[in-house]
């Protein structure tokens, strides 16, 4: 095991990762790429490299090491990545699992451990960028807040991003609908909101709506059903629906949701 630390200081607590691949060269390459991407995000992290899945399991099971996320190969001797993840997931505070593998045909087999992501080695850079960005947004920034101005810009409110269900634009005003059913009126433009929320899973559904994918119940042919006060339907053009379905399915996969045929 070799430990590396990136000395960036945007978070109060350094994030701890482990990478396990029985090929030492590949393991080193994965660590180096994570290093560069995290630097772009401005984050602080420590990372441990393992070429033995058994050694990683013993360190976690014995309490010597604790990690926020593990990047695991699937094909490894003595203990493959899926079995390793199953063993580790038995712990009360189990780390997130991200598989890094050429075995794309095994992606559905990994759903049993509800991985956070699946990085294909043959599309390594793009998949890793998407996965790390999602990890930052959904795990590290789960308590993120944004500031807004209300009452003719005279009052500043702090809102928890994960509690925003959707934002509606109507007659030069924006209305924010929160998970606790509070409705907030403000005069910020949708463009301002879109810019503030660009790094989160809140997307433009239509010209007058921004919706948090966390609260989407389903996407139908003519619109989106949002989980707010028993359900709110937002009409969307048919051309936009197909784009939104792709975005939503990608979000579900990143969150480790098990998908079945016909699920949208």
pLDDT at 199: 73
Does pLDDT of 12 surpass 50?
Answer: no
Quote the pLDDT of residue 209. Answer: 92
Can you give the pTM of this predicted structure? 0.56
Question: Contact 162/199 with Cβ under 8 angstroms?
Answer: no
What is residue 151's predicted lDDT score, i.e. its pLDDT?
66
Rounded to an integer, the average pLDDT of 77-88 is: 94
| CATH superfamily, region 2-140 | Response regulator (3.40.50.2300)
Mean pLDDT of the chain: 83
**Residue 1: is its pLDDT beyond 90?**
no
Given a cut of 90, whether residue 48 has pLDDT beyond it is yes
Alpha helices of the chain — where are they, by DSSP H? Answer: 24-41, 53-61, 81-88, 124-135, 190-196, 238-254
**Is residue 171 over pLDDT 90?**
no
How does pLDDT run across 216-250, given as a tens digit for each residue? 988 888 889 999 998 999 988 878 888 888 888 87
Residues of the chain with CATH 2.40.50.1020: 146-254
Residues of the chain with CATH 3.40.50.2300: 2-140
DSSP annotation of 244 reads H
Would the pLDDT of 258 be above 50? no
User: Alpha-carbon distance 228 to 160, whole Å?
Assistant: 16
Beta-sheet pairing, 216-219 with 223-226: antiparallel
Options 3.40.50.620, 3.40.718.10, 2.160.10.10, 2.40.50.1020; CATH for 146-254 is 2.40.50.1020
> What are the C-alpha distances in Å from 152 to residues 90, 148, 149, 186, 187?
52, 11, 8, 7, 7
At residue 255, the pLDDT reads 61
195/250: higher pLDDT: 195
Tens digit of each residue's pLDDT (9 = 90 or more) over 51-67: 999 999 999 999 899 99
């Amino acid at each position: 095991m070799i430990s590396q630390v990136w000395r960036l200081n945007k978070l109060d607590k350094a994030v701890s990762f482990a990478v396990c691949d029985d090929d030492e060269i590949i393991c080193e390459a994965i660590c180096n790429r994570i290093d560069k991407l995290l630097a772009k995000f401005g984050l602080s992290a420590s990372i441990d490299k393992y070429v033995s899945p058994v050694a990683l399991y013993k360190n976690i099971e014995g309490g010597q090491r604790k990690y926020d996320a593990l990047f695991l190969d699937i094909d490894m001797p003595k203990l493959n990545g899926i079995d390793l993840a199953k063993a580790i997931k038995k712990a009360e505070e189990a780390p997130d699992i991200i598989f890094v593998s050429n075995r794309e045909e095994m992606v559905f087999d990994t759903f049993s451990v509800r991985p956070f992501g699946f990085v294909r080695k043959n599309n390594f850079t793009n998949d890793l960028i998407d996965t790390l960005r999602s990890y930052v947004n959904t795990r590290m920034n789960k308590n993120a807040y944004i500031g807004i101005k209300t009452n003719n810009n005279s009052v500043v409110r702090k809102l928890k991003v994960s509690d925003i269900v959707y934002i509606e634009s109507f007659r030069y005003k924006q209305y924010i609908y929160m998970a606790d059913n509070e409705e907030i009126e403000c005069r910020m433009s949708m463009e301002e909101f879109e810019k503030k929320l660009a790094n989160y899973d809140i997307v433009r559904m239509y010209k007058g709506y921004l919706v948090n994918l966390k609260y989407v119940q389903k996407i139908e042919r003519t619109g989106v059903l949002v989980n707010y006060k028993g359900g709110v339907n937002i009409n969307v053009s048919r051309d936009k629906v197909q784009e939104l379905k792709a975005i939503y399915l990608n979000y579900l996969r990143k969150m480790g949701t098990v998908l079945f045929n016909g699920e949208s």
